């Protein structure tokens, strides 16, 4: 059984450690843990890992966030993976820092990456893991906050929260979205 795991972020070294790139950071953790490497491929950097009989195709779109749907659609078609076996990992301002919320489907909630994916694959019916980045920014400074690097307090627990998100990804593939929701949405 194959799963497409999409980490959302922006390409380029200036975005590497930003809140908006948490999707890339979770996939980097999974790849490092499984000792697999990302390679440049069509529309994305791609890695493949196997875990307990499941294959996880990890992609980090090479387009900017608001064009992520192009990579998702291409790899869904290329790997013949239906929307219910796609998991999109994204940052979320509406969730406290480090909290994880998994949903089986839903709207974009103002997130440009999700908007692009919904438009290009033609459905909102795909699972997503939303990683909370909090909303501790002055009015009118949302973009600076989202594209800013993690602060000192966040960095203290970021690695363990990323590890938890990685475990949620694997459980999604092994036990399904409902079990992953039950086991990780309260942690």
pLDDT tens for each residue of 63-102: 999 999 999 999 999 999 999 999 999 999 999 999 999 9
In this predicted structure, the answer to whether residue 46 has a pLDDT above a threshold of 90 is yes
Which amino acids are annotated catalytic?
20
Quote the CA–CA distance of 4 and 137 in Å, as a whole number.
Answer: 33
pLDDT per residue as tens digits for the range 108-119: 988 999 999 999
| Residue bearing tokens 């999700």 | 114
pLDDT per residue as tens digits for the range 24-33: 999 999 999 9
Question: What is the pTM for the complete model shown?
Answer: 0.96
| Residue bearing tokens 């497409």 | 4
pLDDT per residue as tens digits for the range 1-22: 999 999 999 999 999 999 999 9
What is residue 164's predicted lDDT score, i.e. its pLDDT?
A: 97
As beta bridge partners, residue 2 has: 55
For the chain, give the mean pLDDT. 95
Q: Does domain 2-184 have CATH number 3.40.50.300?
A: no
| 86-92, strands of its sheet edge to edge | 39-41, 44-51, 54-61, 2-7, 86-92, 128-132, 100-103
Cβ–Cβ under 8 Å, residues 10 and 20: yes
Quote the CA–CA distance of 186 and 100 in Å, as a whole number.
Answer: 8
Tokens at 119, concatenated: 């438009």
Quote the CA–CA distance of 81 and 138 in Å, as a whole number.
Answer: 41
| Residue bearing tokens 């459905």 | 123
């Amino acid at each position: 059984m194959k799963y497409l795991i999409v980490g959302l972020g922006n390409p380029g070294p200036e975005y590497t450690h930003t809140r908006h790139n948490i999707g890339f950071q979770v996939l980097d953790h999974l790849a490092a843990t499984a000792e697999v490497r990302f390679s440049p491929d069509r529309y994305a950097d791609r890695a493949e890992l196997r875990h307990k009989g499941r294959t996880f195709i990890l992609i980090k779109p090479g387009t900017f966030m608001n064009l992520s749907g192009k990579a998702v659609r291409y790899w869904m078609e290329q790997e013949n993976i239906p929307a219910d076996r796609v998991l999109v990992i994204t940052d979320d301002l509406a969730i406290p820092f480090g909290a994880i919320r998994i949903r089986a489907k839903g709207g974009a909630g103002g997130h440009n990456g999700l908007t692009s994916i919904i438009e290009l694959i033609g459905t909102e019916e795909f699972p997503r893991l939303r990683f909370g980045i909090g909303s501790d920014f002055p009015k009118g400074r949302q973009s600076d906050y989202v594209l800013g690097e993690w602060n000192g307090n966040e960095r203290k627990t970021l690695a363990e929260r990323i590890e938890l998100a990685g475990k949620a990804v694997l459980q999604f593939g092994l036990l399904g979205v409902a079990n992953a929701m039950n086991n990780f949405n309260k942690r």
